[in-house]
Amino acid sequence: MTGKQHHLHLLPGDVGEYVLLPGDPGRAEVIARHFDNAQHIATNREYVTFTGYLDGVKVSVTSTGIGCPSSAIAMEELVRVGARTFIRVGTSGSIQPGTQSGELAIVSGAIRDEGTSSHYMPIEFPAVADLEVIQALRKAAAAKSLPFKVGFSQSKDSYYGEVEPEHSGVTHDLLERWRAWEIGGAICSEMEVSTLFVLASILRVRAGGIMVMHGEGELGSLEPLIETAVLAIRELIKGDQNA
C-alpha cells in the first residue's frame, strides 16, 4: 500500500525518515517552527503533518491524537511513506514520589498496560526503545542541562483511570497496580509508547520517547521538551551520516 495513506493523507516523499510524534495536533505546528522551511503537508482527523529540514535533512512531525490505537495507525502509515526513525514527544504523569514537574522522562521501555499492542505481539514480548534513540535523547538533555530520568513508562488506555481511580469499578486493582509500577521503578505514565515500541520492532524501524512529567509544582513551558527532541534528531542525523 504505497499510494495516498487512508488516515494520514500522505504520499511517499511527503515525509522525511525522521519523524517527531506529538499527540496534540496543535503541537505539530509548534514543533515544526524548529525546522527550516517547514511546510504543512496534510491534516485529517487527529493527524497533522508538517515537513521541513534539520541540517539539510528532511524531517517531519505528525500528531497522533490520544492513545495507542491512533498512534499505531500513524506509525504504520508513516513507515509506508518512508519514515524510519520516530521520537514520541509528549506529557506524562510522574510515578516516582518527589519528581518535580518539568523533569524529562527518557523512556527506555514500557509496561504494556493497554490493549493495542496485544494485536501485534503476545504480552510476553517486551516494548523497548531503540538504543541509539535513547542515547541521542540523553545526550541532548545533558547538552541543554535539563533534569531528566531514564526508565520505564506505564502505557495505559484510561487517562482518568490514573488521575481519578476512585470513579472506577476496579479502583482497588488500579491502585495496587500503580503501587507495583512504583515499586518496580517505573518513572512515568502515558498512553502511547508501548505500542509504538512493539510496532517499531515488527517494522524494523527505530523508536524512542521523551516526556515532560507532571509531578510536584507547576509544569511550565513545553519548549525545553521540544528543543531536546529536536536536538536528539540532529544527533541521530549526524550519527547516521558518520556511520
What is the average pLDDT score of the chain? 97
The fraction of the chain above a pLDDT of 90, given in percent, is: 96
Residue 1 placed within a domain: no
Per-residue pLDDT at 243: 81
Residue 7 placed within a domain: no
Q: What is the CATH number of the domain that holds 76?
A: 3.40.50.1580
The fraction of the chain above a pLDDT of 70, given in percent, is: 99
The least confident of 105-109, 111-115, 119-123, 157-161 is: 157-161
Is the four-CA dihedral 142, 195, 183, 124 of positive or negative sign?
negative
pLDDT of residue 173 exceeding 90: yes
Q: How many residues does the chain have?
A: 243
Number of compact structural domains in the chain? 1
Sort strands 104-113 and 206-214 into parallel, antiparallel or unpaired. antiparallel
pLDDT of residue 154 exceeding 70: yes
pLDDT of residue 142 exceeding 70: yes
Sort strands 36-44 and 47-54 into parallel, antiparallel or unpaired. antiparallel
Quote the crossing angle between the two packed helices 223-242 and 131-143, to the nearest 10°: 120
Q: Which residue range forms the structural domain that includes residue 204?
A: 18-242
Residue 155 placed within a domain: yes
| Confidence at 180, pLDDT banded by 50, 70, 90 | very high
Per-residue pLDDT at 113: 97
Residue 177 placed within a domain: yes
Residue 3 placed within a domain: no
